[in-house]
Amino acid sequence: MRHIILALLLAVVPSIAFGQGNAKVPDPDPELERKTFIVAPGFEVNLWAADPLLAKPIQMNWDPQGRLWVATSEHYPQIKPGEKANDKIIILEDTKGEGKADKTTIFADGLLIPTGIAPGDGGAYVANSTEIVHLSASKPGEKADKRRVVLSGFGTEDTHHIIHTFRWGPDCHLYFNQSIYIHSHIETPTGVKRLNAGGIWRFNPDKTQLDIFARGWVNTWGHAFDKYGQSFATDGANGEGINHVVIGGYYPTAQGPHTQRILHGLNPGSPKHCGLEIISGRHFPDDWQGDCITNDFRGHRVCRFKLSDDGSSYASREMTEVIKSNHPAFRPIDVKMGPDGALYIADWYNPIIQHGEVDFRDPRRDKTHGRIWRVTAKGRDLVKPPKLVGATVPELLEQLKAPEQWTRDQAKRVLKEMGQEKVLPELQKWISTVEDERHLLEAVWILEALENGEGRLKLSMLDVKNPNVLAAVIRMLSPHNRGITLAEKNWATYASDDHPRARLEAIRALGGLKSPQAVDAAMKALDSPMDRTLDYALWLTVRELEPYWMPEFQAGKLTFGGDAKKLAFALNAVGNKDTVKPVLTLIDGGKIPKENLHGLYVLLTQIGGPEELNRVLTYAIGKEIPNAKRDELVLAVEEGVRLRKVARPRDISVLDQFTKQAGTTGRAAIRLIGHWRIEERRNDLMATLALSTVDPEVKLSPEDCAAMLQAIALFGDAKAKSYLADWCSYNSKMAKVPAQGALLQRLSIAALAGLDMPTAAEKAADFLAAAKAEPELLDVYAAFLSRKAGVPALAKALAGKKLNPDVAKLGLQAVRGSTLPAPELVAALTKAGDLAAARKPPTPDEVKALVAEAMKADPARGELIFRRKELQCMACHGIGGAGGQVGPDMTSIGASAQPDYLVESLLLPSKAIKEGYHAMRVVTADDKVYLGVKIRESDGLLVLRTAEDKEVAIPVKDIVERPQAKQSLMPEGLTDQLTKQEFADLAAFLSQLGKVGTPYAPSKARIVRRWQVIDPTPENQSLFRRGRVSAAAEPDTTFLWSPTYSLVSGDLPLASLPKFSVWRDTADLTVLRFNLDVTTAGAAKLKLNSVAGLAVFLGASPVEPKAETLLDLKTGVQTVTVIIDRSKRTEDLRIELDDVKDSPARVAIVGGK
Amino acid sequence: MFLSTALIAFTLATRAESPTKPFEFKDGDRIVWLGNTLVEREQRYGYWETALIASNPDKKITVRNLGWSGDTVHGEARGRFDFNSADKCFKQIVEPTLELKPTVIFICYGTNESFEGKDGLPKFEKGLEKLLDALKPVNARIVLFSPLPVEPNDTPGSIKAAEARNADLKLYADSIAAIAKKRDLRYADLFTPLSNTFAAWKKHRASNPHLPDSERFLTDNTVHLTRHGYGITLLDFLKSLGYDLDVRAADQTGPLRDAVIAKNEQFFNKWRPQNETYLFGFRKQEQGRNAKEIAEFDPFIEKLETEIDTLRKALKK
């Protein structure tokens, strides 16, 4: 590997030159850019400000005077040695009221990549690399001459991750975000606040009070509050659209003590977004109010999402874009409503957006341009900008009634800065006059801001009727905010309020209450209907409160009112050793609702000792347990034993019953014999294996044999070694059942590799020298490639051996598939197989030639290549959320990445890797090598997602080596099998993906893209023959389904789908299904492109297929099965999900693999 | 201008009578300065460093500030995306220090650790001893500074909160003094003189009701010295090392301070560059080629050191 990296480094210099040669630096004329905009009907866009008034805007925010403050950076991405930091904060003004900026003031310079700006407190708060500084000018209107460090200690590991997205909240606190690589350690008067990953901070500058508001995300580049103060966020790398932010919640990539469960965005499968604003005010039409606007900066689009209530959270739906363009430098990155009620968009204007993937010094990086665009509704009046500065307190209070959130927020800023002495008396008067509860809410917020957490909001404000106002008031009263004490029984009332969002806020508020009674109050929520967000919130609160309630519970002082459901929830949430006894008592009490029982047994596998695990097995063997649940429990027992090294139970009679069973459970039980080293059963395994080679009647599947040999290997003693070594040198020709003998020989080599590497390597070398090239050999190679000592051992053993060239080639394939550096093994295989030298990294000229080919190639053919099963692209990459989740979603890759980068990534996947997709390699004490993307590390376990999309847990204490991973999970050489033309087509397809104006542009339509299809295997065939075809729609059947995906266009090509006829003379059929995730029940419809030849089932019930097929959906994941009579249909299938007017249903199409 | 006339008057009025025995500096000394936010922010303001150089105008002294906000003797704040284990964090204090081959090391810890109160003392002491052992290879003369006291402000409850914090901080200051004594190292007490200065400033504030906002307190949130705070306390800092300086002479050190700050900026960008993940971390295969720029900072730092040297020598006359 080292020589490859070296070669890459050497290749860099010419490739920069090449990059320049291929540079696509567009004509910077703003009018040319504007002409590319396709604007939402009824709207128009005008240029509000452009270079030279500003360059490289990163963030913008308005002040109460209606001036736009913009943080700009020409140093980005990296300051040069000797340079003095000189980035700027500029102020843009439209002094003439002509709808465009005519004045620019440099407010501050001397800054280092300022990524956030919030005017306030007589100047502005600015993100300045490791610090937040407050800048102010001694003379109004002039340049800042005073600089105060407000907070310091923010990490700078990546300049597109450093603190960003400054926003004053409705409570006049400063919210700001940091991204995934950043490690921040901020000293405050109450201690050091540490956040070692992404998240949103909340800061009260008056008191230097800093808290983590929510955790996670890769690049939370958007954060906005709606009119009720609910928070929404967008992510510039994790494509889940709009995220509803629960206070203290953990989102993807979060670090902290409660990473076991995370919350997700509302639009999985979206492209990545930057900036976020919520539409409000009279200039925009009614049907735009409350909509979220964010930017698909890769795809050159300004996007709109419509939110609607969905239980305690929201559903989010993408609408027609505000702007879309194919201009390569149009990079909308921030969006804000303005004082005139129009929408303003900051355009970073740059053909290059990649941070790490493109050289910091690449000359194509634009340093001088930047635009602010203004979106207005045609034929609608603009709002007259309010006069706030210089207004009286009563005038400002009246502005809190304005329909424009801009005006309300800015009026609050002015009031806040006037101070409580001037404002409080007038505010008290004003509160007594307001009738609208929403106005009262503004008063609550300004009180919070003025009293600074010291005063007390009137508890009578909790009497409000509007549930959204109530939710906001509860948040302001919460200990997270104010540290005031509201009696627990009052909190209990709100935890069981009629409205789910009020319950959500109460549950989260209780998490900060630090008392044992708080958990009791929070549990009241379980008396009302729960939804996923409430379930999460309660889980988090119970865990946060554990130090306060667990001792009381153990002392018998806290009983959850004897309610088994509540106790089960609490114990499940905490799930540590302390809960074993109460869990057993709970199960023995027999009062647990059936649906909770399974969860408690799974919990026991995670925390229990030998006898508890035996209890789980005893429960699982019960006849009434469905197969899937039984499998889950037995595998969980095995995982518990593997991870926690739990010893064997005294009585193994239940295990004996399991080992006789077929399939997953049987094999897990067999492996448990090994994990537990049950000597009295080892001989049985050995006898059975021996018998299988002499008696053709003893039929063992390869999987069963593997499990038995693994079990024997797990004994780890001399007896196991010699036993496996004997099989390794077994002469299968001597066996009565030669195939079985050969199988055991091969499997034993793999099993021995975990016990005695030198011997296993020698045996393997002998075995390979005699072997024919069969795909099974990959498993033999894999056994060595998954262990640290395996590569050198096998390489050494192969010295002097001659291999069938195809056997050696399989070895090379295995090396590539393992993504492990194994240069010595590659050399040994090349020599033993007498192969030509291994592949070399492409030269810059080769890449250049390939890019040129791709520019001429056919993306439509490329799409078909991308979909080929054997290429495995879709096993790891999704498009529009459909497909594997191991690698980045490809939805807008073409709009963001340069073609040279795409070509290189196909050939050298590890050269440039998207953040969040770096593989980690760990070696455990037993010499095993694990490679995967880190999902979390908590409770002493490291969890990785492997290239096979499996989650693997590794006990941290077993890890002996954790070298820096510099590689992608994508193996090299995946595209080696393609012809030159095919490679060009594939690259052409990728470079078109997400580009506006091509058939591969992102779509807002809710199209079914991820399907499962029944393959015509003999097993499936015989299941149909025994039953009916429509049995496929029934739950709990044993059909084998494989994934298939729609084209980017949304069509599922019929020709590519497997078909079969049940009997010789019946018509060819194709059976498909997809899932809908229903969070609120109700009616929804499917729009079918045609109904010819279709039979549709919702669950097991037939539904009449129509162009608009109506579905009555219950909550939960629902399955729709489609049977196609191929004799009646040749047309491709396209199904779109749509709303039914006035239906409460909230439905999402399930994506993924 | 360095300090205003009124401030000079204040400083003179409150100056210490008899400094302790001076900590001896040698010509050519290289100081590495370790610590938390107090040290990190000093490099931006430069008052203390400038005062130190100005009070030793006959010696060439170079300072490398390795302060890191939020840090502790365990190096807790020095983790990165690539490494965040206790062992690696600790090495991030030790290795960069040893690499700079210091002859003198200033160590300013204890503030963040003191939030653990009395119960946290054993852990802190063990960590400090471990750090001192780890720094032995360079055989530098070590100065252990006490933490700063908290300055109460005029928000309700602040005086009471400051009393509680100061009691804990004093515990840690005493513990540091004891370790210094045990190891025969120089102990530099900032806690006592700054407590006195904070009290004197309170009187000054009472008799000057029209002080600008930025000068009402010496800290901006009770814990962190303001720009102005560093200026006012520079004599306290010198005194802790046994030095004194004629403030009127100090007033002439503006250009020296400018050079010190400029040098610190270049050094900061060199030793804590942005985008470290790409330059040295696990994504270095993408931008590692640009790490060569890091060495390119050295000539700029050297040039500014020469300027500091020239200005320092001019003070001697």
Chain A window 418-457: which residues touch B at a Cβ cutoff of 8 Å?
Answer: 454
Please provide the DSSP assignment of A871-924 as one string. GTHHHH-EETTEE-SSS---TTHHHHS-HHHHHHHHH-TTSS--TT-BEEEEEE
- Cα A1016 versus chain centre, distance: 34
Alpha-carbon distance of A755 to A816, in angstroms, equals 24
Chain A window 124-153: which residues touch B at a Cβ cutoff of 8 Å?
Answer: 129-130, 146-150, 152-153
**At A1069, which helix (H) or strand (E)?**
strand A1069-1080
Q: CB–CB of A130 and B275 under 8 A?
A: no
Chain B window 204-243: which residues touch A at a Cβ cutoff of 8 Å?
Answer: 214, 220-224, 226-227
Q: What is the mean pLDDT of residues B63-72?
A: 97
Alpha-carbon distance of A620 to A640, in angstroms, equals 15
Residue A5 near chain B (CB below 8 Å): yes
Q: Which of B44, B281, B300 sits opposite A157 (nearest CB)?
A: B281
Per-residue burial over B66-77, b if 16 or more Cβ lie within 10 Å, else e, is: bbbbbbbbbbbb
Q: CB–CB of B112 and A194 under 8 A?
A: no
**At A1073, which helix (H) or strand (E)?**
strand A1069-1080
Q: In chain B, what is the greatest distance between 2 CA atoms, to the nearest angstrom?
A: 62
Q: What count of other Cβ atoms lies within 10 Å of the Cβ of residue B121?
A: 18
Q: Which of A78, A964, A965 sits opposite B274 (nearest CB)?
A: A78
From chain B, pick out residues whose CB is under 8 angstroms from the CB of A419.
none
Alpha-carbon distance of A627 to A633, in angstroms, equals 10
Q: What count of other Cβ atoms lies within 10 Å of the Cβ of residue A681?
A: 20
From chain A, pick out residues whose CB is under 8 angstroms from the CB of B76.
185, 192, 194
- pLDDT for position A454: 54
Backbone angles phi, psi at A34, to 5 degrees: -60, -35
Query: Which residues, 6 or more positions from A143, have their beta carbon under 8 angstroms from its beta carbon?
Result: A105, A106, A107, A108, A109, A137
Residue A1035: asked if its preceding bond is cis (omega within 30°), the reply is: no
Alpha-carbon distance of B54 to B260, in angstroms, equals 11
Cα distances from A93 to residues A2, A376, A414, A776, in angstroms, run 55, 18, 19, 71
Alpha-carbon distance of A55 to A71, in angstroms, equals 10
Alpha-carbon distance of A78 to B297, in angstroms, equals 13
Which amino acid would we find at residue A368? T
| Residue whose token pair is 């109050």 | A521
- Token pair of A831 as six digits: 């020599």
Please provide the DSSP assignment of A598-630 as one string. HHHHHHHHHH--HHHHHHHHHHHTSTTS-HHHH
From chain B, pick out residues whose CB is under 8 angstroms from the CB of A454.
156
- Token pair of A118 as six digits: 């919030």
- pLDDT for position A21: 33
* Closest C-alpha to A1007, from A1058, A1041, A1048, A1057: A1048
Q: What is the mean pLDDT of residues B208-226?
A: 92
Distance, in angstroms, between A984 CA and closest chain B CA? Answer: 24
Residue B69 near chain A (CB below 8 Å): yes
- Token pair of B179 as six digits: 């370790």
From chain A, pick out residues whose CB is under 8 angstroms from the CB of B283.
356, 913, 918, 966
Alpha-carbon distance of A745 to B29, in angstroms, equals 70
Q: CB–CB of B37 and A360 under 8 A?
A: no
CA-nearest residue of chain A to B156? A454
Alpha-carbon distance of A865 to A993, in angstroms, equals 14
Alpha-carbon distance of B67 to B44, in angstroms, equals 11
- pLDDT for position B7: 61
**At B255, which helix (H) or strand (E)?**
helix B254-271
Which amino acid would we find at residue B283? R
Beta bridge partners of B141: B104
From chain A, pick out residues whose CB is under 8 angstroms from the CB of B82.
964
> Using CB atoms within 10 A of its CB, is residue A958 exposed (0-12), middle (13-18) or buried (19+)?
middle
From chain A, pick out residues whose CB is under 8 angstroms from the CB of B227.
147-148
CA-nearest residue of chain B to A966? B282
Q: Which of B111, B226, B269 sits opposite A79 (nearest CB)?
A: B269
Chain B window 253-312: which residues touch A at a Cβ cutoff of 8 Å?
Answer: 262, 265-266, 269-270, 272-278, 281-290, 293-294, 296-297, 299-300
| pLDDT, tens digit (0-9, with 9 covering 90-100), for B190-209 | 999 999 999 999 999 999 99
Which amino acid would we find at residue B179? I
Coil, helix or strand at residue A190: coil
Residue B177 near chain A (CB below 8 Å): no
Backbone angles phi, psi at A871, to 5 degrees: -80, -20
Distance, in angstroms, between A629 CA and closest chain B CA? Answer: 38
- pLDDT for position A9: 32
- Token pair of A993 as six digits: 């993906």
- pLDDT for position A579: 84
**At A825, which helix (H) or strand (E)?**
helix A823-832
Alpha-carbon distance of A816 to A1028, in angstroms, equals 44
Residue A3 near chain B (CB below 8 Å): no
Q: Which of A80, A185, A190 sits opposite B77 (nearest CB)?
A: A185
Helices (H), A621-662: 627-644, 653-659
Coil, helix or strand at residue A1122: strand
From chain B, pick out residues whose CB is under 8 angstroms from the CB of A190.
115
Alpha-carbon distance of A148 to A759, in angstroms, equals 68
Per-residue burial over A1009-1043, b if 16 or more Cβ lie within 10 Å, else e, is: bbbbbbbbeeebeebbeeeebeebbeeeeebebeb
pLDDT tier for residue B6 given thresholds of 50, 70 and 90: low
DSSP A80: P
Chain B window 8-37: which residues touch A at a Cβ cutoff of 8 Å?
Answer: 36-37
Alpha-carbon distance of A380 to A287, in angstroms, equals 14
- pLDDT for position A3: 37
| pLDDT, tens digit (0-9, with 9 covering 90-100), for A733-762 | 777 888 888 899 999 999 999 899 999 999
Alpha-carbon distance of A509 to B216, in angstroms, equals 37
Cα distances from A466 to residues A228, A290, A291, A501, in angstroms, run 10, 17, 20, 11
Expressed in angstroms, the distance from the first to the final Cα of chain A is 31
Residue A365 near residue A403, CB atoms below 8 Å = no
Q: CB–CB of A129 and B274 under 8 A?
A: yes
Interface test with A, best of B115, B214, B278 (most A CBs within 10 A): B278
Q: What is the mean pLDDT of residues B301-310?
A: 96
- pLDDT for position A1096: 93
From chain B, pick out residues whose CB is under 8 angstroms from the CB of A85.
265
- pLDDT for position A17: 31
Query: Which residues, 6 or more positions from A313, have their beta carbon under 8 angstroms from its beta carbon?
Result: A244, A246, A266, A504, A531, A532, A533, A1079
Cα distances from A1148 to residues A127, A295, A1082, B193, in angstroms, run 38, 22, 13, 66
Chain A to chain B Cβ contacts (< 8 Å): 163
Residue A214 near residue A263, CB atoms below 8 Å = no
Residue A617 near residue A655, CB atoms below 8 Å = yes
Beta bridge partners of A1069: A1060, A1125
From chain B, pick out residues whose CB is under 8 angstroms from the CB of A185.
68-71, 76-77
| Residue whose token pair is 């009674």 | A517
Residue A910 near chain B (CB below 8 Å): yes
Alpha-carbon distance of A596 to A238, in angstroms, equals 33
Treating both helix axes as pointing N-terminal to C-terminal, what angle do A610-620 and A580-589 enclose, rounded to 10 degrees? 30
- Token pair of A568 as six digits: 């089960």
From chain B, pick out residues whose CB is under 8 angstroms from the CB of A146.
214
Residue A362 near chain B (CB below 8 Å): no
Q: In chain A, what is the greatest distance between 2 CA atoms, to the nearest angstrom?
A: 102
Chain B window 110-139: which residues touch A at a Cβ cutoff of 8 Å?
Answer: 111-112, 115
- Token pair of A591 as six digits: 């009062």
Residue B171 near chain A (CB below 8 Å): no
| Residue whose token pair is 């199960």 | A587
Residue spans of beta strands (DSSP E) within A258-300: 274-278, 292-296
Q: CB–CB of A153 and B37 under 8 A?
A: yes
* Closest C-alpha to B266, from A261, A84, A227: A84
- Token pair of A705 as six digits: 């044999």
Q: CB–CB of B77 and A356 under 8 A?
A: no
CA-nearest residue of chain A to B166? A189
- pLDDT for position B314: 87
Distance, in angstroms, between A19 CA and closest chain B CA? Answer: 15
| pLDDT, tens digit (0-9, with 9 covering 90-100), for B112-155 | 999 999 999 999 999 999 999 999 999 999 999 999 999 999 88
Residue A604 near residue A636, CB atoms below 8 Å = no
Confidence check: pLDDT of B16 > 80: no
Residue A578 near residue A550, CB atoms below 8 Å = yes
Residue A657 near residue A621, CB atoms below 8 Å = yes
Alpha-carbon distance of A410 to A67, in angstroms, equals 12
From chain A, pick out residues whose CB is under 8 angstroms from the CB of B214.
146, 148
DSSP A1131: S
**ipTM metric:** 0.94
Which amino acid would we find at residue A922? V
> Which stretches of chain A score pLDDT less than 70?
1-24, 354-355, 452-461, 479-489, 819, 837-839, 963-966
Q: CB–CB of B274 and A81 under 8 A?
A: no
